[in-house]
A = this chain, B = another copy of it.
């Protein structure tokens, strides 16, 4: 039984979280420093950006997680600490500050940064804010919310989610916080996402669960096809749920995989819906593909097309752009077998059958596409594989936000 619960990263047993404004951002109100602290050493795993330009925190976190364990995560917004000569030193310094204030060895600390690339990050505000940050830690939902708020950049809403599930006869929980919005086309992970669970699981199986999951979650999400330099998705498992430790791909592992995917898919929808300037969530569901890979290529290509995204903003059922994006997706497909329909809360609109257009009423089409969540259903008629991808519309505000982000 998988059940949605409250509490975000604090829902699982053994985690506290908090967030404060320490002064990295000039804005005096917005929190800019977050901490997640586990009561015990956790099995931990991470996946990171594939961009060759990697933020210094990504490099440090990779090293710290190489032994499969961690106990804390420190995260700042307002500065990506990327393309800075002293970047590693600063990222290591943030971990050392966590050690000094909590006793968790620096080597067990995950560190992440998000914000502008190529501006020096000073340790000073972080050092000055540590005492308040540690005092802010709480094991209830307020702690998770404060952390979720502190990692936001141009996000308009904070993203947190949690589910409970059963493994080894014990009730377990998995929760997460994330941030997204721009420079979002994760390739192995989203901008920043931190998952906690009280499941007992070996580091190897945790890594396996995470690596399998991203293929159908964050790797199927795009706001603007720009793969960030700082994408980081980390999971920590405290084991405090009391289930027998998962060490193989057994029934309990599959139960965790299902719950984890509930969490990550929910976050993908939240991230897409809150894409920079977005007014609509776009979900493309492909069925009937020859292989899983073909299904994923096809679905992702549709949500990535600027032309399709602009058409959705304009509530224009321009399905030719769906066909066009499918055609250059790299998926193996038979054009003469493609069906396309739009499905929203406002109605269902089939637009293409067997690769050719169907007549439809333009007024009804406008009504269907006026919904704030657009389902694009694609049948490839060529096999049994399915995939879902998430994106958002392309709007004036995306241009506005990104025309002057730094200043």
Residues on A lying within 8 angstroms of B by beta carbon are: 50-54, 80, 82-85, 116-120, 182-183, 187, 224-229, 304-307, 310-311, 313-314, 316, 318-321, 323-328, 333, 335, 352, 355-357, 362, 394-396, 398-407
Contacts and interface: CB of A to CB of B under 8 A. Distances in A.
Contact of A396 (B80, B306, B396): B396
The 8 closest A-B pairs by CB, nearest first: A117-B320, A314-B403, A53-B327, A310-B402, A51-B327, A118-B357, A227-B328, A314-B404
Contact of A407 (B120, B187, B305, B316): B316
* Chain B CB within 10 Å, residue with most, of A327, A398, A406: A327
A4 to B, nearest CB: 34
A62 to B, nearest CB: 15
A120 to B, nearest CB: 8
* Chain B CB within 10 Å, residue with most, of A50, A182, A183, A320: A320
A352 B325 CA distance: 35
A51 B324 contact: yes
B84 A357 contact: yes
A18 to B, nearest CB: 29
A183 B324 contact: yes
A117 B51 contact: no
A85 B304 CA distance: 27
B226 A321 contact: yes
A274 B84 CA distance: 36
Given A399-B313, A399-B395, A118 B224 contact: no
Given A118-B320, A313-B403, 5 more contacts: A52-B326, A84-B356, A226-B306, A227-B324, A316-B404
A53 B324 contact: yes
B324 A224 contact: no
Contacts of A405: 311, 314, 316, 318
Contacts of A226: 305-307, 321, 324-325, 328
B398 A310 contact: yes
Contacts of A335: 52-54
Nearest to A119: B357
Contacts of A399: 310, 313, 394-396, 398-399
Contacts of A228: 324
Nearest to A362: B407
A324 B183 CA distance: 9
A224 B333 CA distance: 23
B402 A118 contact: no
B402 A314 contact: yes
